[in-house]
Structure 1
């Protein structure tokens, strides 16, 4: 089953199940606004990495970013929200709206304390703060917006989504750089196991204004290539760092039984397993923690390495980090034992927003039976014994996907996504060959 016309299986979980399922996806990415536009661009190999055009970046050692174009917040949000929100929050609010609409959820019809929000963010509202601090320096404190008190805060996306939709259940923000994007989804599942009807979860980042871009550069992991097609090359012998980007994905996560009761339009898949680990301190003889996270997530999902159909890699594009990730994948799955891909080469690394976007890609790979490629990889590192999907999308029946993420400072997270259960004919109509069937 391939193509955008394919649909996810109807909702028919077993009564009383506590599985957490994903019923809505909202995407804001450098290569596409909206889930289907982004997914089509990803399968076409269309990149969102481009030179900075918002300000003069000629003095910087590099000028490439994964920047979203064509987003007019006024077209998506009430005018009253614009003075109090940074670009990152506007993108998050729009993506949350799209996810809820995709899930067929009208928040006003649900108990407010049964709805929660869990997002990841590691940079906060950089552009808003940069502007207001400039006012402080040049015009005095009386000119600084009162909204600066919260618009900069890394928890602001969670707060604004919660306020906009009247979601008063237990909400949170997870801060673990790139790994936090998976932590938010894992925490959503944990929240639902305690109580609640749904969690809006995921992550969106945007910190590409001059102040934010300098902050990225200071970390020493940014590629200085001037060629958009050669700047972000994980698992390639030419890898010299990543390209920072903005955007991410927001997901609607809910109990399978609850999705069935409300007749949700679709279930994309289940959050079957999750685990997080920390690397040992620098200089320790202990190995990095990514392999342990992978094995723990698979055990949590109740699946074996042989069950996994694809791995969405963290793909740092730092040679030592790529080697460590390739070694962890080989240790679990064997040499060339599972297809590995990193579609983020088309967007740049989105920090807390990147892993939720990978989860969205995994869910659509399940839906459409296709693996998105890792773009621009022409010279894979010979010592990395991984089956890297590159060049063109690869047709594949996907029932179980593993998503990996690592955050600066030693954070590791792994999430297992599985295909939705098949619907009986009485609920879903005639079935299609190969759709919604478990092995």
Structure 2
């Protein structure tokens, strides 16, 4: 019998809050958490707003020795992993190291650490960088540090697919469990808020330069103008179902299907991705899950907020679901777009929605743009089939989709 993979722990560290409960409260309230970037002075940039994790104290989740060796992006992973392990009722150190693995997604690495070191290299008389520059900047730093600290010695890895990677990490976790590793830590975090990182994103032409954080990021809206960058993400404990049941673990839901495709061509400055390949990824996920399109309760889309990309995404969803697509909800306008961390947060939102028996209303659009006509969820409602599809696209052609089957709602949880 094929092993089944379930989520037993959720750790969210995002602009919506630290911890799954804080994130869920923000989602339900529809509270916008974007504002002026504070990690550096953004006054000279056309985009000055983003989403930052409020009140985050890295010292509460890792000792100083590890903190000085790593970037804030990894600090967020330290926190999200500890929160997920605690939520799952699992110890800090793996009791069976080779039975535990960690696979996270990474897109841009240690931006703030690298910025500081390169400025010291070119701006100080010493012309040197610190000893940890090559470690902290490296895109695999978070996986390596978590593996060492928590003793995750099973098959570990890093996936690089920009925003799509947060979903790909969970698909990889399922495959790892089916190959015999019973516990996998999966998900993604991100911190693209440094001068260098912001300049790289501006080069794409996809960032919003609207001078009002309340109106800057509006996917599928007639006023859509691009996205706002954000830090944060989510980490999950993914377990083999029999193991989770044997220890009496709380189960949020099961990862039942996934699909990943690539456009196969470079995305030019006027491109919007290939909706055919995007639709194909969603169909693959549904087919692997054994789910018909009509059975889906809710879709959490990529929601880039760039008009041509929004139209392409809406076309892909209509191609899969027909003229009567399931309800669509996105909370990215509340937090900003955290790249691979953002798609991981969408997975957390979907699983928490089933736990609380509430599909959250979408944070927009206020006025749907032409070509983006979808069934946006305008008010909270109860789920029916308890099946969600989470979608994500990575820059330059990556497409991913994940199908989640929610567990029964918890009694007494509102």
Q: 2:262 aligns with which of 261, 271, 278?
A: 278
Displacement of 1:372: 2.1
Q: 2:120 aligns with which of 135, 145, 151?
A: 135
Displacement of 1:280: 4.0
CA–CA distance in 1 between the matches of 2:367 and 2:324? Answer: 16
Paired residues of 2:275 and 2:316 also in contact (CA < 8 A)? no
Alignment size in residue pairs: 409
Paired residues of 1:235 and 1:380 also in contact (CA < 8 A)? yes
Task: Note the aligned Cα RMSD (angstroms).
Answer: 2.1
Structure 1 SS opposite 2:73? helix
CA–CA distance in 2 between the matches of 1:93 and 1:243? Answer: 24
Report the equivalent of 2:19. Answer: 34
Displacement of 1:141: 6.0
Displacement of 1:412: 0.3
Structure 2 SS opposite 1:89? helix
Q: Label 1:141 to 1:153 Cα distance change in 2 as closer, same or farther (>3 A).
A: farther
CA–CA distance in 2 between the matches of 1:250 and 1:78? Answer: 20
Structure 1 SS opposite 2:163? coil
CA–CA distance in 2 between the matches of 1:158 and 1:307? Answer: 36
Q: Which runs of 5+ in 2 are unaligned?
A: none
Q: 2:384 aligns with which of 383, 390, 397?
A: 397
CA–CA distance in 2 between the matches of 1:207 and 1:225? Answer: 19
Alignment of 1:20-419 (within 5 A): 20-108=5-93, 110-139=95-124, 143-264=128-249, 266-281=250-265, 288-390=276-378, 392-397=379-384, 399-419=386-406
CA–CA distance in 1 between the matches of 2:333 and 2:144? Answer: 30
Displacement of 1:107: 4.9
CA–CA distance in 1 between the matches of 2:206 and 2:274? Answer: 24
Q: Label 1:421 to 1:196 Cα distance change in 2 as closer, same or farther (>3 A).
A: farther
Paired residues of 2:275 and 2:312 also in contact (CA < 8 A)? no
Paired residues of 2:5 and 2:177 also in contact (CA < 8 A)? yes
Displacement of 1:249: 0.2
CA–CA distance in 1 between the matches of 2:411 and 2:357? Answer: 13
Question: What TM-score results when the alignment is normalised by the length of structure 1?
Answer: 0.89
CA–CA distance in 1 between the matches of 2:411 and 2:126? Answer: 64
CA displacement, residues 123-178 of structure 1 (integer Å, 9 cap, x when unaligned): 10010011111121233567522111210011111111111100111111100100
Report the equivalent of 1:5. Answer: none
CA displacement, residues 206-238 of structure 1 (integer Å, 9 cap, x when unaligned): 020222111211111001111112111111111
Structure 1 SS opposite 2:328? strand
CA–CA distance in 2 between the matches of 1:290 and 1:399? Answer: 23
Paired residues of 1:182 and 1:356 also in contact (CA < 8 A)? yes
